Amino acid sequence: MSVSVAGRSITIPRPTPITVATWLTVLVFQTVLVVTYAAASNAQIGLFHVYPFVWINLSLWVFWQTDIPTADRRQHALAGSIAIGYFAILGFFGGLYGWLPLFDHPEHHLQYFEQMQGFDLAVTLPPGYGPALFYVSPTLALSITPYALIGYLTLAYLVYVTVLDAANAAAPGILGLFACISCTWPIIASAFVGAGTSTTLVAGIYAQAYELSTIAFVLTVLLLYWRPLE
């Protein structure tokens, strides 16, 4: 089957029986996880419980379908450096980590972190959101949730592959890489949805943040996977 994406004709091969069986197994396992969690916690299943598996499953699909282009060592080093920096930016704006401001009064600072500092592993969160690792120190806070960590690693991997493709396409391709919306969109989307600002607009959409960030993630993956570098 062929589809047109960004002016390019993309051929989608028919899945093999092994592929179908593998994905059915994954989906059944995830369904059992969610149903078991809902039964144990007396919770009603909704879209909130589905969002993290959209991130996780799409990420699995990307790693399954995306091969690393051939390139020399220098190109791999360049692509790796850019991908690491890209992940760091996404992680900061997406809430994986952040810097904590010091309080004006040292006694308040000490009292707060005596209660909050250290590691905490949250195992009672819904599947996909947990188990989540949290860490608080006087200057650093971590909030590592499985779906976000996997999703941002996937975007960084796609950027890594994209840089290698652009390097193989020569200098104009590299310039086009940093001008394309598919590369800047996830940073803008993460900053808009996950930065935690106090503006009226962000406060108004906070209740829909998971839905919006999931839509942004899906669109970003599609844009980076089918990327026009010409």
Which residue has better confidence, 213 or 8? 213
Q: How far apart are CA 191 and CA 204, in angstroms?
A: 16
pLDDT band at 191 (very low <50, low <70, confident <90, very high): low
Do the domain assignments include residue 143? yes
Per-residue pLDDT, 185: 54
Residue 229's pLDDT band (cuts 50, 70, 90): very low
CB 126 within 8 A of CB 146: no
Confidence label for 91 from pLDDT (cuts 50, 70 and 90):
confident
Residue 102's pLDDT is 47
107 pLDDT exceeds 60? no
Q: Indicate the residue type of 8.
A: R
Residue 111 tokens read as 């009292």
Q: Cα(110)–Cα(64) distance, rounded to whole angstroms?
A: 48
Work out the number of other CB atoms within 10 angstroms of the CB of residue 5. Answer: 13
Q: Is residue 218 part of a domain?
A: yes
Please report whether residue 9 resides in a domain: no
* Mean pLDDT computed over every residue of the chain: 76
What are the distances in angstroms from CA 61 to CA 53, 83, 123, 222?
12, 19, 26, 11
Q: Which residues contact 224 (CB under 8 A, 6 or more apart)?
A: 155, 158, 159, 162, 182, 183
Q: What is the pLDDT of residue 94?
A: 80
Q: Tell me how far apart the alpha carbons of residues 190 and 201 are, in angstroms, rounded to a whole number.
A: 15
34 lies in some domain:
no
Q: What is the pLDDT, as a whole number, of residue 61?
A: 93
pLDDT at position 215, please?
A: 84
Comparing 11-25, 32-46, 78-92, which segment has the lowest mean pLDDT? 11-25
Is 1 a member of any domain?
no
What does each C-alpha distance from 57 to 22, 62, 146 come to in angstroms?
12, 9, 12
Please indicate, yes or no, if residue 31 is contained in any of the structural domains.
no
- pLDDT, residue 42, reads 92
Q: Report the domain count for the chain.
A: 1
Q: Would you place residue 90 in the very low, low, confident or very high pLDDT band (cuts 50, 70, 90)?
A: confident
Confidence of residue 193 (pLDDT cuts 50, 70, 90): very low
- Compute the average pLDDT of residues 24-33: 96
> For residue 112, how many other CB atoms are within 10 A of its CB?
14
- Domain range holding 170? 48-225
Mean pLDDT of 169-193: 50
How does residue 200 score in pLDDT terms, banded at 50, 70 and 90? very low
| 6 within domain boundaries | no
Confidence of residue 106 (pLDDT cuts 50, 70, 90): very low
* pLDDT given at position 208: 63
* CA–CA separation, 31 and 27 (whole Å): 6
Q: What's the rounded mean pLDDT across residues 53-68?
A: 93
Q: What is the pLDDT of residue 77?
A: 93
43 inside domain = no
pLDDT at 26: 95
Q: How far is CA 188 from CA 49, 98, 116, 137, 178, in A?
A: 25, 17, 31, 28, 14
